[in-house]
């Protein structure tokens, strides 16, 4: 579980500002995910990537963007188009193929100033 | 779209009692059902999982049961302890959600409080 590192732990965004959340893993996992967690809403999938240089939208991708230039890294940018960004963001990874167990990072709490 | 419903949203039990959390899923072809535990301020961690070809699985005080006909599965915790207090999430993996990797759909979580 310690193989996924998210930073920063807390992040504040101003109106109209884009912010980027970092996610790095050293587990050699092919697949990486970003989830948004709101109180009482469970985990909702924002974006996922099954392989380097490829990613797909999840259920709530609007206002977010990602990149996957390296296997180890899957940063998430929360753009100014995301009007309600305050949430706890979790990054996760799992082995390629049909690997099942998700390994989560420790999360980033994003708040709007 | 695919959906997983989880009940109850909050559950309070006395130490030593049992706790049961139930989930229903919409895609009858779902084939994998994990349960994650998230302690306050920490990351979710897998505590037990079950595949669609198995009806029940146990790991010490924790068990999961699956009823494919009714499309529901449940988490059972016996002899609860204060350290069991956390938010528990169920999830299901539908057949055609997330391409070849098979993504999970999560329930909204159950906050379990175990009173000493």
Average pLDDT over chain A reads 92
> Could you give the CA distance from residue B37 to residue B58 in angstroms, rounded to a whole number?
16
At A85, give phi and psi (nearest 5°). -85, -10
> Could you give the CA distance from residue B98 to residue B94 in angstroms, rounded to a whole number?
9
pLDDT band at A2, cuts 50/70/90? Answer: low
Test B108 with A58 for CB contact under 8 angstroms. Answer: no
B36: nearest CA partner in chain A:
A102
CB B45 within 8 A of CB B38: yes
pLDDT for B53 beyond 80: yes
pLDDT for B76 beyond 90: yes
pLDDT at B90: 97
* CB contact B44 to A (< 8 Å): yes
> Could you give the CA distance from residue A83 to residue A69 in angstroms, rounded to a whole number?
27
pLDDT at A1: 46
Beta bridge partners of A102: none
Test A33 with B103 for CB contact under 8 angstroms. Answer: yes
Touching A: B residues 70-99, CB under 8 Å:
89, 93, 98-99
pLDDT band at A100, cuts 50/70/90? Answer: confident
B10: nearest CA partner in chain A:
A40
pLDDT for A72 beyond 70: yes
Mean pLDDT of A13-40: 93
- Name residue, tokens 């912010």: A19
Mean pLDDT of B33-52: 94
pLDDT at B1: 73
Q: What is the pLDDT of residues A43-69, one digit of tens each?
A: 999 999 999 999 999 999 999 999 999
* CB contact B108 to A (< 8 Å): yes
Closest CB to B103: pick one of A41, A48, A96. Answer: A48
**DSSP of A43-81:** EEEEEEEEETTEEEE-TT-TTEEE--SBTTB--EEE-TT
Q: Name the nearest CA neighbour of B76 among B15, B10, B20, B17.
A: B20
* Residue B69: partners with Cβ closer than 8 Å, 6 or more residues away: none
Beta bridge partners of B76: B20, B63
CB B66 within 8 A of CB B73: yes
Q: What is the pLDDT of residues B17-42, one digit of tens each?
A: 999 999 999 999 898 999 999 998 88
Closest CB to A102: pick one of B1, B104, B108. Answer: B104
């Amino acid at each position: 579980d310690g193989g996924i590192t998210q930073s920063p732990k807390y992040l504040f965004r101003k109106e109209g500002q884009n912010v980027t959340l970092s996610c790095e893993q050293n587990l050699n996992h092919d697949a990486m995910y970003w989830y948004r967690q709101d109180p009482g809403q469970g985990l909702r999938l924002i974006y996922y990537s099954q392989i380097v240089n490829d990613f797909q939208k999840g259920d709530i991708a609007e206002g977010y963007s990602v990149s996957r230039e390296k296997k180890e890294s899957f940063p998430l940018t929360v753009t100014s188009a995301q009007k309600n960004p305050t949430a706890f963001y979790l990054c996760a990874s799992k082995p390629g193929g049909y690997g099942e167990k998700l390994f989560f990072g420790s999360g980033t709490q994003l708040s709007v100033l | 779209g695919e959906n997983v419903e989880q009940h109850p949203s909050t559950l309070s039990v006395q130490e030593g009692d049992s706790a049961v959390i139930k989930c229903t899923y919409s895609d009858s072809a779902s084939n994998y059902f994990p349960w994650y535990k998230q302690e306050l301020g920490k990351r979710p961690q897998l505590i037990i999982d079950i595949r669609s070809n198995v009806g029940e699985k146990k790991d010490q005080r924790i068990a999961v049961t699956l009823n494919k006909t009714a499309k529901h599965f449940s988490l059972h915790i016996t002899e609860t302890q204060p350290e069991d207090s956390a938010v528990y999430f169920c999830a299901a993996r539908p057949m055609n959600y997330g391409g070849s990797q098979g993504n999970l759909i999560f329930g909204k979580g159950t906050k379990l409080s175990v009173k000493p």
